[in-house]
Amino acid sequence: MKVTFEQSDALIIVDVQNDFCPGGKLALDEGDEVVPIINAMTAQAQEAGIPVFVSRDWHPCHHVSFDERGGPWPEHCVQDTKGAEFHPDLSVPDGARLISKGARFDIDQYSAFDKTGLVSELVHLDVKRVWVVGLALEVCVRATALDAVKNDYETILVEDGTRFIDRADADKTRQELKEAGVTVK
Ligand code: VGL
Ligand code: ZN
């Protein structure tokens, strides 16, 4: 995907972690296929000199979102486990800004904007427009893109660089994002 970055853009890469890729604990079919696509975007972002943010789902053991606690998900992305590491082929450039989320004890945190300090960093860097990619499209990518719009950022979601947990959610999610003002490319 050829993208054209402008000086006031930022790239936000959501949760490209082993547990969301084939063999992981909450694996998305073809979750790993986003890696080369995102790496190409990151290389372009580096060339353009725009900031790159990389988020990770970073749960404590026995997190409230896990089914053992009555939550909706199997155990996944437990802090300091292999499953929580970024996919080994994901290029995370020096200077990429790391956002950890999902570590609160009482509530889950899908959006990279949810009490992470991301907005202050974007304001500080004078970012006006964000590009969002990663996993999973109908969960953390969706929440991040919707929050970006709510915070008045022009928001572009590159669908090639994302995957669904459940493709049955595809039309509904795309429509919701577009209605909210996200550009889905
Ligand atoms: C995610 C399910 C549970 C995500 C995180 O990163 O999309 N999905 N936790
Ligand atoms: Zn999670």
Domains of the chain: 9-184 (3.40.50.850)
Check 21, 101, 114, 147 and give the catalytic one. 101
SS3 114: coil
Residue 96: what pLDDT? 98
CA-closest candidate to residue 63, choices 105, 20, 116: 105
Q: Active-site residue 15, yes or no? A: yes
In this structure, how many other beta carbons lie within 10 angstroms of the beta carbon of residue 43?
Answer: 12
What residue's CA is closest to ligand 1, atom 4?
140
Which residue bears the tokens 């694996």?
A: 27
1: pLDDT strictly greater than 80: no
Q: What is the pLDDT of residue 29?
A: 92
Q: How confident is the model at residue 97 (pLDDT cuts 50, 70, 90)?
A: very high
- pLDDT at residue 2 tops 80: no
| Cα 138 from Cα 6, distance rounded (Å) | 27
Q: Is 101 a catalytic residue?
A: yes
CA atoms within 13 A on the CB side of 164: 10
Give me the sheet containing 52-57, strands edge to edge. 97-101, 52-57, 9-14, 129-135, 154-163, 183-184
Q: Which residues line ligand 1 (CB under 6 A)?
A: 15, 26, 57, 73, 135-136, 139-140
pLDDT of 76 reads: 98
Residue 182: exposed, middle, or buried by beta-carbon count in 10 A (0-12, 13-18, 19+)?
buried
The pLDDT of residue 169 is above 90: no
Q: Is the ipTM of this complex over 0.85?
A: yes
| C-alpha of residue 7 to centroid of ligand 1, in Å | 30
Of residues 143, 130, 127, the one with CA closest to residue 57:
143
Asked if residue 53 has pLDDT above 90, the reply is yes
Kindly report the protein residue whose alpha carbon is nearest to atom 2 of ligand 1.
139
Question: Looking at the chain, how many residues does it have?
Answer: 185
Ligand 1 atom closest to Cα of 141?
A: 7
CA–centroid distance, 110 to ligand 1, in Å, is 6
pLDDT value at residue 44: 97
Report how far ligand 1's centroid is from the alpha carbon of 77 (Å).
Answer: 9
pLDDT at 35 over 80: yes
What number does the ligand 1 atom closest to the CA of 143 have?
A: 7
Index of the ligand 1 atom closest to the CA of residue 15: 6
**Region 109-128 average pLDDT:** 98
Q: Distance (Å, rounded) from C-alpha 125 to C-alpha 183?
A: 22
Q: Which tokens go with 138?
A: 């109908």
Cα–Cα distance between 177 and 58 in angstroms, integer? Answer: 25
